[in-house]
Structure formats: C-alpha cells, structure tokens
C-alpha cells in the first residue's frame, strides 16, 4: 500500500516504521521464510482485543459505525482490511456460496484496484473506489484515494486471463 497523507511528522515516522516492519515480514527477515506457518511478534499497540468472534472484532475496529458513515469519503479512505489468503477473505467477507473467482459488485461496495487500468485518471494498482452504479457492461465508481478523489469514472467489463 502506498503511504497515505499524514498530518504530523510523528505520524509519518510511525507509518514509515510500520511499513518497513510489514515489508520485513514479506521479505522473510522477520519470522523467517513463510511456509504458511510463521510466528511473528506483534506489539500490543497493533493488536485489537478479540471477543468471541475475532473477525467481527476486526471489522468493528476497522469500520466503527459503518452504516452511518458508508457514504462518507473521508471515513472510507483510510481504512482497509488486508487478507493473506482467499480463505481469510472468504471468512472476513462471510461469503456464502460465492466462488472465489466470481466477483459480484453492488452499489456501495468498496473495491481496491489490483491492476493498472488508466494512469491518466488515477486508475492504478492500489486505487480505492466505491461503486455508484452498475450496468450490464460497465461500472460507475467514485475514486476515494489519490489526486482524483471524488471524481466519478466508468470502467468497462474486462476479461482477465491469468498468465
């Protein structure tokens, strides 16, 4: 994820430290090589207190008062839940009967682009959007992040073929 705009130098230092820590985990310099079973020490300030339902606890910590803030750009811009595997995504989304390869979007859905589509309008990897209208062959979305935040864009249906 790109570093987001922060308001103080202290926040920038904390964010840079956090991003370096995350990168170290990904590089295998912390916790060793990831063979799907790695132990990593996490500082207490990064942990949330889990209740009986840890997934609900994560969602509620990340998106408090979601229903009353779902239409607020500022509320959605700085929040994301990152998942390492499709199994975790399925658990967090509480999907029922939707295949992992099938993406069903509806108005109000938050999405993050994983491909560069059009740099000139800010549609690149990591851009966050909220779906505002759906059609048979096109999506309308409002950009939530970057210099084009607030602009509405149209994305045509695309066929993505794995390499």
| pLDDT, tens only, 87-139 | 777 777 765 555 556 677 889 988 988 888 888 888 888 899 999 999 888 99
N-to-C CA span, the chain: 23
Q: Rounded distance, CA 146 to CA 4, Å?
A: 9
The tally of domains found in the chain comes to 3
Residues 96 and 107 in one domain: no
Q: What span, in angstroms and rounded, lies between the C-alpha atoms of 19 and 158?
A: 32
Is 108 in the same domain as 160? yes
Q: What is the CATH number of the domain that holds 114?
A: 2.30.30
Domain that holds residue 126: 103-163
Rounded Cα gap, residues 122 and 143, in angstroms: 8
Domain check: are 28 and 6 in the same one?
A: yes
- Regarding whether 163 and 129 lie in a shared domain, the answer is yes
Question: Which of 4-8, 15-19, 108-112 tops mean pLDDT?
Answer: 108-112
If asked whether residues 56 and 14 sit together in one domain, one would say no
Q: Are residues 122 and 77 in the same domain?
A: no
The whole-model pTM stands at 0.48
CB 81 within 8 A of CB 74: no
Q: Which residue has the higher pLDDT, 34 or 84?
A: 84
């Amino acid at each position: 994820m790109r570093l987001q705009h922060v308001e103080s130098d202290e926040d920038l230092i904390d964010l840079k430290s956090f991003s370096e820590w995350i990168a170290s985990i990904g590089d295998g310099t912390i916790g060793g090589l990831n063979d799907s079973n790695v132990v990593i020490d996490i500082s207490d300030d990064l942990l949330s207190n889990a209740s009986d339902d840890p997934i609900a606890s994560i969602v509620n910590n990340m998106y408090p008062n979601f229903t009353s803030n779902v239409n607020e750009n500022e509320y959605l811009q700085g929040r994301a839940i990152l998942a390492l595997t499709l199994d975790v995504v399925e658990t967090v989304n509480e999907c029922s009967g939707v295949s992992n390869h099938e993406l069903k979007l509806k108005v109000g859905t938050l999405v993050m682009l994983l491909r560069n589509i059009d740099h000139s309008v800010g549609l690149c990897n990591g851009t966050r959007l909220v779906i505002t209208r759906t059609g048979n062959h096109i999506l309308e979305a409002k950009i939530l992040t970057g210099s084009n935040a607030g602009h509405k864009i149209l994305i045509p249906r695309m066929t993505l073929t794995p390499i």
